[in-house]
Amino acid sequence: ETGVTQSPTHLIKTRGQQVTLRCSSQSGHNTVSWYQQALGQGPQFIFQYYREEENGRGNFPPRFSGLQFPNYSSELNVNALELDDSALYLCASSLMHSGANVLTFGAGSRLTVL
């Protein structure tokens, strides 16, 4: 059983640029969620995708967007990067309607915006 894999692991961008982060879900999972973890904070929900459609969104602006593909892999896109977007971005997969909503997380992509 493969876990959740994310790429790239680290990247540096400058303010105003755009970034795409990628995620492969755990085998057997059909739902993917993205979280942002700033330094010293807990993960904050960005959005969730199920059946290739957005299925819930946290308090993040529209320049944060995503995709889910038929193989349940996913992308997170952030446009017009700001300094405050510097954070660890975590992808998590799960099985919809599985009760306790246990998420399996990847190791994350650490984004630095200069």
Partner 1 sequence: DQQVKQNSPSLSVQEGRISILNCDYTNSMFDYFLWYKKYPAEGPTFLISISSIKDKNEDGRFTVFLNKSAKHLSLHIVPSQPGDSAVYFCAVTGANNLFFGTGTRLTVIP
Q: Which of 2, 71, 84, 102 binds partner 1 (CB under 8 A)?
A: 102
Q: Considering only residues 45-64, where is the footprint of partner 1 by CB under 8 A?
A: 45, 48, 50, 55-56, 58
- The CA distance from 113 to 85, in Å, is 7
**Residue 85 is which amino acid?**
D
Token pair 């919809």: residue? 96
Q: How far is the CB of 14 from partner 1 (least distance, A)?
A: 25
How far apart, in whole angstroms, are the C-alpha atoms of residue 96 and residue 41?
A: 26
Q: Which residues bind partner 1 (CB under 8 A)?
A: 4, 33, 35, 40-45, 48, 50, 55-56, 58, 90, 92, 99-108
